Amino acid sequence: MTFEQYKPAVRRRWLFFAAGIEWSAVGVGLMTVACYWLYHSTWPLRIGIAALSAAMGMGMYFFALSRLVSRNLQRIGCKPEVVCLFAFQAKRVYFLIPLMMAMGYAIRHSSIPKDLAAIVYFAMGLALVLGSSLYFRQFSIVSTR
């Protein structure tokens, strides 16, 4: 008996959708936490932090995550037509996820003021949401063929 029969097999195009869902869900979650933390701030500080966070998030997307998404799109495009649903991320990323979660936990529970922590959370969340749009665009392109 092998574990191959228990893998959730899907057509390759669904990997683009799965990646988009994961990236957008994590991004929206991070941005929601950041907004909750900023809710208790004064208006001028809130606006300044939001503007800085948005600028940082767009920079992170344009200079780092868009390249990562492009590599992932190429990697997924080289997969066989029917593939395991969890192949939308490279295997090494599954080892990085607990590390990223631990870093988020450390920031959340550190003595760093929540206004400053919100900058990191919102910027990363926005970058992930922007990156997810590339996955959804590829899914729609492949689905219409």
In a domain, 5, yes or no: no
Instruction: Fill in the DSSP letter of residue 134.
Output: H
Cα dist from 133 to 23, 38, 69, whole Å: 9, 25, 10
Which residues is 82 bridged to in the sheet?
11
Answer whether residue 102 is part of any domain. Answer: yes
Percent of the chain residues topping a pLDDT of 90: 85
Structure tokens at 33: 């936490």
Asked whether residue 1 is domain-assigned, the answer is no
Greatest Cα pair distance, the chain, in angstroms, is 63
Residue 83 lies in a domain: yes
Contacts of 85 (CB under 8 A, 6+ apart): 7, 8, 9, 10, 14, 15, 18
Q: Does any domain span residue 89?
A: yes
Q: Is 122 inside any structural domain?
A: yes
Residue 2 to residue 26: CA distance in whole angstroms: 32
The yes-or-no verdict on residue 1 having pLDDT over 70 is: no
**Does residue 123 register a pLDDT over 70?**
yes
Number of H helices, E strands in the chain: 5, 2
pTM tops 0.85, yes or no: yes
Amino acid letter for position 97: I
pLDDT tens for residues 15-68?
A: 999 999 999 999 999 999 999 999 988 889 999 999 999 999 999 999 999 999
Instruction: List the beta strands (DSSP E) in 1-145.
Output: 9-11, 82-84
pLDDT at 145: 74
Residue 136 lies in a domain: yes
Name the residue range of residue 60's domain.
10-143
Which one-letter amino acid corresponds to residue 130?
L
> What is the total count of domains within the chain?
1
- The answer to the question of residue 4 being in a domain is no
